[in-house]
Amino acid sequence: MTVMQTTANDRNEKPKRSLLKRLAPLFVVAGGLLAGYALGLHEYLSLTFLSESRDLLRGFVAQNPVLAPLGFAVLYALAVAFSFPAASILTLFAGFLFGWLLGGALVAVAATIGASAVFLAARGALSGVLAQKIGGRVSRMARGFEDDAFNYLLVLRLAPIFPFWVVNIAPALFNVSLRTYATATFLGILPGTFAYAYLGHGLDSVLVAAAEAGREVTLGDLVTPQLTLAFGALALVAAIPVVVKKLRRSPDA
């Protein structure tokens, strides 16, 4: 093999290594998610498990007043970082085990840390993809997202229209800064977090009643139409600054 051939091969290998390096964090996230399902962790993230183990879990929390909340926060952050679809259930767990105030605070911090981790992984792998692949109206939407990322994210976090893991990754396509992402995420999830933690705090009587009736409790038993309407109202309030800003920029305004 000549020197020129060797140099050409090296040049071809560099982009491949660079791409693999960029995609490595996403492979780790996907691998962690698959490993979690393979180990059957999803079977423990249910109201049925909480109903069957509530006395054991509460006893552990009482005996470990520092280790238990810290361990739960780490578990929650890892679940979010690996995009495990368990945010609602784990938030109910938090309210049930630690009370709505401490439980909600633990979830807000842990969820923000976990979401920021997966955001950074996605941004490293997907940076530049959007600008290269799309144009026209979608491109203008992307620029609008970048110009007002905080309010866009706040609306998405306040109204759980899309799955939590989708909103974690989507901003990585729009060059959103980590500070903006983390701040909007933390503030945006507070109402929903404390609402679910409060539901979890009062869950004991629901679990007992369901057990006596011989049936399983589902999220549908806990999420009322009033709660859904409240989330929608919060999202509308958060959307007002975005709409006003768009109207002011409109040529017809």
Taking all residues of the chain, what is their mean pLDDT, rounded to a whole number?
A: 76
Tell me which residue range forms the domain holding 188.
47-249
Is 200 inside a domain boundary? yes
What pLDDT was estimated at residue 88?
A: 84
Residue 224 pLDDT > 90: no
Average pLDDT over residues 127-139: 49
Tokens 């993230």 correspond to 45
C-alpha to C-alpha distance for 161 and 231, rounded to whole angstroms? 10
Query: For the chain, what percent of residues have pLDDT higher than 70?
Result: 60
CA-nearest of 223, 157, 193, 184 to 76 is 193
Is 9 inside a domain boundary? no
Is 208 inside a domain boundary? yes
Tokens of 50: 């909480």
Is 15 inside a domain boundary? no
C-alpha to C-alpha distance for 119 and 131, rounded to whole angstroms? 18
Q: What is the DSSP string of 4-48?
A: HHHHHHHHHHHHHHHHHHHHHHHHHHHHHHHHHHHTTGGGGSSHH
Residue 44: exposed, middle, or buried by beta-carbon count in 10 A (0-12, 13-18, 19+)?
middle
Is 42 inside a domain boundary? no
Is 10 inside a domain boundary? no
C-alpha to C-alpha distance for 116 and 157, rounded to whole angstroms? 14
User: What is the helix (H) or strand (E) element at residue 233, kind and residue range?
Assistant: helix 225-249
pLDDT-derived band at 31 (thresholds 50, 70, 90) equals confident
Is 232 inside a domain boundary? yes
Give the number of other Cβ atoms within 10 Å of residue 97's Cβ: 22
- How many separate domains does the chain show? 1
Q: Are 168 and 118 in contact (CB under 8 A)?
A: yes
Is 19 inside a domain boundary? no
